[in-house]
């Protein structure tokens, strides 16, 4: 596990610190065992979901629950036959396009609010974050009316716009914290050398904040892919995303657990994998960069 | 002496430069101001249009008697909707459930997250894998997560929870219908504990170790060290986690929609779900809008306090690091 090595490296960097950890890691401790038990407990529902996805319906409905069975791909095949492809495409489209829009709007805004602060920077920051504090329900009725009036009901672009608005405040705050870390001397040096603003942005700043841009994109991806409230209220058949597909699946097909598990696995897997790969960036992103 | 003179000269010239710059700034301040504001404006305008216009509409709708089931019934009724909202016992119940869900989930998730973070702060075999497994619930699509809790975990006949409890003489309990709010909360705690854990873990790892060492040399016990040094250091991480968790939990919808549909009756509906029911199943636009406005006003009051906490956390970045 690459993540394991990076964490160990990070915490072992100071010498005394390293000694402490090495001493402890030699003997298997009760705490390590406890941590493993907790981790397996928390992971269990996910494990069970994936496991059930490979069962036949009869195995999924057994009492006591079956751990050993002949795995089958029937459920995934079944889910594909019900047209999950369109929902996956819709989810992917809304996620990717809204994330790109968020970055296009959010990165310049964060730049304006950090390295070249404008008047009333604090007010602007406060406004962005305050939109996250408001319950979405208060806006859903007019949103429904507006969206249906401009003909975007059950149209994926409605979700693209709303997901952009949903993630933009987070992106502005996150990116601002990354921009603030760019050393001022570096910019001064660039401008001394006669670099134009655009050149120093391109040559100096962007390379430094690109990990931050990646982290921001990851967070936006997770939130957009998993979003349900807008999707269930503003889409129907054509523009339904994968969480909405799962709901329709239940009412339409009755409760086929194994097949439902296969659908749930397909819905959850892309984000789980992305999150696993980039887990070190997660905290920073989720705390809007407040935690370094 | 010379160095002092040089320094004074340097300061003087610096001051001159600054004065020139200031004058220059004043003369071009308008153009420069717009150039600086330029990158900010698209995002700002986008957010204002997408978030504020719908809210203004909500406020407008809340003064209308407007039920889609009765066409042509739309009329201005002033504050009547608000009067009805405050008389509505189900609304009060939903409001109470919302608070209960947020406070309960945040409290339990923070405590569990703290414990898990303390475990993970130690070195042991496979720590990276353990962390990876622990963060997974936060990544799972909430709809899928809620579905798994309802069926795989809490089902009366096939659920794992009853299976695990059966040797202890617990009869088959239909958890979701008997304890709907607790079932939803279990799902939310499962989903949010990893987030709290990650945040608190980041706090633990940013802690200067030499202070702990010094404390130990001075003969402080583990618990005293934890209470006097670790917990105060973690405070702002915990505060931030609680505030951010609460912000997201105000909008809890997926879990309730998938697990209980707000039922039985309205036992487990929170404000988002109740307003959704009113608007999209009851088609009572005016009522639902008034509820939305009341919810927003209440949230603004709480959020203003919460925001202060966040801002304090942000501005206190250097001193804590």
State how far Cα A123 lies from the chain centre.
27
Asked if A246 lies within 8 A of B303 by C-beta distance, the reply is no
Q: Which of residues 91-130 of A touch B (CB under 8 A)?
A: 105-106, 108-109, 111-113, 116-119, 124, 126-130
Query: CA triplet B227, B231, B232: central angle to 5 degrees?
Result: 105
Which region among A180-189, B76-85, B293-302 has the lowest average model confidence (pLDDT)? A180-189
- What would the mean pLDDT of B202-224 be, rounded to a whole number? 85
Tell me how far apart the alpha carbons of residues B66 and B80 are, in angstroms, rounded to a whole number: 12
**Do B179 and B272 share a domain, yes or no?**
yes
What total of structural domains would you count in chain B? 2
| Structure-block tokens of residue A32 | 């390590």
More confident residue, A239 or B213: A239
Tell me how far apart the alpha carbons of residues B254 and B252 are, in angstroms, rounded to a whole number: 6
Note the pLDDT of residue A35: 94
Longest dimension (CA), chain B: 91
The three-class DSSP label of residue B284 is strand
Asked if A105 and B42 count as a contact pair (C-beta separation under 8 A), the reply is yes
Tell me how far apart the alpha carbons of residues A38 and A42 are, in angstroms, rounded to a whole number: 6
**B138 in A contact zone (CB under 8 Å):** yes
Is residue B94, in this structure, part of any structural domain at all?
A: yes
Tell me how far apart the alpha carbons of residues A72 and A259 are, in angstroms, rounded to a whole number: 11
Asked if B124 lies within 8 A of A271 by C-beta distance, the reply is no
**B283 in A contact zone (CB under 8 Å):** no
- What would the mean pLDDT of B187-203 be, rounded to a whole number? 94
Asked if A292 and B317 count as a contact pair (C-beta separation under 8 A), the reply is yes
Asked if B55 lies within 8 A of A132 by C-beta distance, the reply is no
Q: What is the pLDDT of residues A75-106, one digit of tens each?
A: 899 888 888 999 999 999 999 999 999 999 99
The three-class DSSP label of residue B38 is coil
Asked whether residue A204 carries a pLDDT value surpassing 70, the answer given is yes
More confident residue, A203 or A226: A226
Asked if B123 lies within 8 A of A24 by C-beta distance, the reply is yes
**B175 in A contact zone (CB under 8 Å):** no
Note the pLDDT of residue A291: 67
Is residue B73, in this structure, part of any structural domain at all?
A: no
User: Which residue out of B21, B131, B133 would a mutagenesis test of the A interface target, given it has the greatest number of A Cβ atoms within 10 Å?
Assistant: B133
Note the pLDDT of residue B19: 61
Is residue B67, in this structure, part of any structural domain at all?
A: no
Which region among A168-177, A245-254, B45-54, B131-140 has the lowest average model confidence (pLDDT)? A245-254
Distances B65 to A53, B75, B249, B287 between C-alpha atoms, Å: 48, 5, 30, 8
Which region among A148-152, B9-13, B267-271, B291-295 has the lowest average model confidence (pLDDT)? B9-13
Q: Which residues of A touch B279 (CB under 8 A)?
A: 140-141, 144
Residue A145: how many CB atoms within 10 A of its CB? 15
Q: Output phi, psi for B271, to 5 deg.
A: -60, -50
Note the pLDDT of residue B130: 95
Q: What is the pLDDT of residues A146-188, one digit of tens each?
A: 999 999 999 999 999 999 999 999 999 999 988 988 888 887 8
Q: Which of B33, B234, B19 is nearest to B121 (CA)?
A: B234
- What would the mean pLDDT of B108-128 be, rounded to a whole number? 93
Tell me how far apart the alpha carbons of residues B15 and A44 are, in angstroms, rounded to a whole number: 66
Nearest-by-Cβ selection for A135 from B148, B194, B299: B299
Asked if A283 and A291 count as a contact pair (C-beta separation under 8 A), the reply is yes
**A61 in B contact zone (CB under 8 Å):** yes
Tell me how far apart the alpha carbons of residues A138 and B296 are, in angstroms, rounded to a whole number: 7
Confidence of residue B315 (pLDDT cuts 50, 70, 90): low
**Do B34 and B146 share a domain, yes or no?**
no
Is residue B54, in this structure, part of any structural domain at all?
A: no
Is residue B104, in this structure, part of any structural domain at all?
A: yes
Q: Which residues of B touch A133 (CB under 8 A)?
A: 247, 250, 299-300, 303, 306-307
DSSP state of B67: B
Confidence of residue A273 (pLDDT cuts 50, 70, 90): very high
**Do B231 and B174 share a domain, yes or no?**
yes
Note the pLDDT of residue A76: 92
Beta-bridge mates of residue B245: none
Sorted by sequence, the CB contacts under 8 Å of residue B229 that are 6+ apart come out as: B207, B211, B212, B215
**Do B21 and B134 share a domain, yes or no?**
no
Q: Which residues of A touch B281 (CB under 8 A)?
A: none
Helix H, strand E, coil C: the string for B68-133 is: CCCCCCCEECCCHHHHHHHHCHHHHHHHHHHHHHHHHHHHHHHHHHHHHHHHHCCCCCCHHHHHHH
| Cis amide bond preceding B264, omega within 30 | yes
Is residue B72, in this structure, part of any structural domain at all?
A: no
Q: CA nearest A274 in B: which residue?
A: B139
Q: Which helix (H) or strand (E) holds B66?
A: none
Note the pLDDT of residue B190: 97
**Do B98 and B38 share a domain, yes or no?**
no
- What would the mean pLDDT of B232-258 be, rounded to a whole number? 90
Tell me how far apart the alpha carbons of residues A229 and B272 are, in angstroms, rounded to a whole number: 9
Is residue B70, in this structure, part of any structural domain at all?
A: no
Distance from CA of A32 to the nearest CA of B (A): 5
**Do B170 and B32 share a domain, yes or no?**
no
**Do B100 and B6 share a domain, yes or no?**
no
Q: Which of A63, A43, A40 is nearest to A257 (CA)?
A: A63
**Do B39 and B155 share a domain, yes or no?**
no
**Do B116 and B7 share a domain, yes or no?**
no
Please tell me the pTM assigned to this model.
0.86
Which region among A3-12, A72-81, A142-151, A188-197 has the lowest average model confidence (pLDDT)? A3-12
Tell me how far apart the alpha carbons of residues B262 and B277 are, in angstroms, rounded to a whole number: 9
Confidence of residue A66 (pLDDT cuts 50, 70, 90): confident
Range of the domain at B17: 2-43
More confident residue, A166 or B38: A166
- Using CB atoms within 10 Å of the CB of residue A195, give its burial: 0 to 12 exposed, 13 to 18 middle, 19+ buried: middle
Neighbouring C-alpha atoms within 13 Å toward the C-beta of A95: 26
**A178 in B contact zone (CB under 8 Å):** no
CATH of the domain at B290: 1.10.3720.10
Asked if B46 and A105 count as a contact pair (C-beta separation under 8 A), the reply is yes
Note the pLDDT of residue A242: 94
**B315 in A contact zone (CB under 8 Å):** no
Is residue B276, in this structure, part of any structural domain at all?
A: yes
- Phi-psi sector, A28: left (phi>0), alpha (psi -120 to 50), beta: beta
Helix H, strand E, coil C: the string for chain A is: CHHHHHHHHHHHCCHHHHHHHHHHHHCCCHHHHHHHHHHHHHHHHHHHHHHHHCCCHHHHCCCCCCCCCCCCCHHHHHHHHCCHHHHHHHHHHHHHHHHHHHHHHHHHHHHHCCCCCCCCHHHHHHHHHHHHHCCCHHHHHHHHHHHHHCCCCCCHHHHHHHHHHHHHHHHHHHHHHHHCCCCHHHHHHHHHCCCCHHHHHHHHHHHHHHHHHHHHHHHHHHHHHHCCHHHHHHCCCCCCCHHHHHHHHHHHHCCCHHHHHHHHHHHHHHHHHHHHHCHHHHHHHHCCCCCC
Confidence of residue A253 (pLDDT cuts 50, 70, 90): low
Q: What is the pLDDT of residues B145-157, one digit of tens each?
A: 999 999 888 888 8
**Do B106 and B17 share a domain, yes or no?**
no
**Do B22 and B101 share a domain, yes or no?**
no
Q: Which residues of B touch A102 (CB under 8 A)?
A: none
Longest dimension (CA), chain A: 75
Asked whether residue A9 carries a pLDDT value surpassing 70, the answer given is no
The residue count for chain A: 292
Q: Which helix (H) or strand (E) holds B278?
A: none
**Do B212 and B291 share a domain, yes or no?**
yes
Q: Which residues of B touch A276 (CB under 8 A)?
A: 132, 135-136, 139
Asked if B123 lies within 8 A of A63 by C-beta distance, the reply is no
Note the pLDDT of residue B214: 86
The three-class DSSP label of residue B235 is helix
State how far Cα A188 lies from the chain centre.
35
Distance from CA of B2 to the nearest CA of A (A): 28
């Amino acid at each position: 596990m690459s993540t394991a090595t990076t964490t160990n490296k990070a915490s072992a960097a100071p010498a005394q610190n390293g000694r402490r950890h090495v001493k402890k890691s030699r003997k298997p401790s009760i705490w390590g065992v406890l941590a493993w038990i907790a981790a397996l407990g928390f992971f269990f529902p996910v494990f069970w979901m994936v496991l059930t996805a490979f069962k036949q319906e009869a195995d999924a409905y057994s009492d006591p629950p079956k751990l050993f069975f002949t795995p089958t791909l029937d459920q995934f095949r079944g889910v594909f036959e019900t047209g999950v492809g369109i929902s996956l495409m819709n989810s992917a489209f809304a996620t990717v396009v809204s994330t790109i829009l968020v970055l296009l709007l959010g990165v310049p805004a964060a730049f304006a609010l950090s390295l070249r602060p404008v008047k009333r920077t604090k007010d602007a920051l406060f406004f962005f974050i305050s939109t996250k504090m408001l319950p979405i329900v208060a806006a859903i009725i007019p949103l429904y009316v507006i969206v249906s009036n401009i003909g975007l009901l059950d149209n994926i672009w409605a979700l693209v716009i709303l997901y952009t608005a949903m993630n933009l405040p987070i992106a502005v705050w996150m990116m601002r914290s990354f921009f603030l870390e760019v050393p001022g001397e570096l910019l001064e040096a660039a401008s001394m050398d006669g670099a134009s603003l655009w050149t120093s942005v391109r040559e100096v700043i962007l390379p430094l904040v690109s990990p931050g841009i990646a982290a921001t994109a990851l967070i936006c991806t997770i939130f957009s892919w998993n979003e349900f409230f807008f999707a269930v209220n503003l889409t129907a058949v054509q523009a339904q995303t994968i969480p909405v597909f799962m709901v329709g699946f239940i009412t339409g097909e009755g409760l086929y657990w194994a097949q439902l598990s296969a659908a749930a696995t397909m819905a959850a897997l892309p984000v789980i994998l992305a999150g696993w790969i980039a887990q070190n960036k997660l905290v920073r992103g989720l705390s809007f960069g407040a935690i370094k | 002496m010379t160095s002092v003179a040089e320094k004074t000269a340097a300061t003087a010239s610096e001051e001159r430069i600054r004065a020139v710059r200031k004058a220059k700034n004043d003369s071009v301040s308008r153009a420069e101001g717009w150039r600086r504001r330029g990158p900010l404006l698209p995002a700002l305008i986008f957010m204002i249009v997408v978030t504020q216009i719908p809210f203004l509409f909500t406020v407008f709708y809340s003064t209308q008697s407007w039920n889609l089931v009765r066409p042509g019934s739309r009329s201005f009724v002033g504050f009547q909707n608000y009067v009805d909202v405050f008389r509505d016992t189900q609304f009060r119940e939903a409001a109470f459930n919302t608070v209960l869900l947020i406070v309960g989930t945040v409290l339990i998730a923070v405590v569990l997250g703290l414990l898990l973070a303390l475990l993970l702060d130690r070195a042991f075999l496979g720590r990276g894998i353990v962390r990876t497994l622990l963060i997974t619930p936060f990544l799972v699509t909430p709809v899928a997560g809620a579905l798994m809790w309802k069926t795989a975990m809490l089902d009366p006949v096939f659920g794992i929870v009853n299976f695990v409890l059966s040797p202890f003489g617990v009869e088959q309990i239909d958890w979701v219908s008997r304890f709907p709010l607790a079932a939803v909360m279990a799902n939310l705690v499962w989903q949010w504990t990893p987030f709290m854990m990650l945040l608190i873990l980041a706090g633990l790892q940013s802690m200067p170790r030499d202070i702990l060492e010094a404390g130990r040399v001075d003969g402080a016990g583990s618990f005293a060290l934890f209470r006097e040094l670790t917990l105060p250091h973690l405070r702002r991480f915990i505060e931030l986690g609680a505030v951010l968790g609460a912000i997201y939990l105000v909008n809890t919808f997926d879990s309730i929609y998938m697990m209980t549909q707000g039922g039985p009756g309205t036992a487990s509906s929170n404000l988002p779900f109740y307003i959704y029911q009113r608007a999209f199943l009851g088609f009572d636009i005016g009522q639902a809008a008034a509820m939305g406005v009341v919810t927003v006003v209440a949230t603004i009051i709480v959020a203003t306090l919460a925001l202060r906490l966040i801002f304090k956390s942000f501005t206190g970045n250097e001193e804590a690091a």
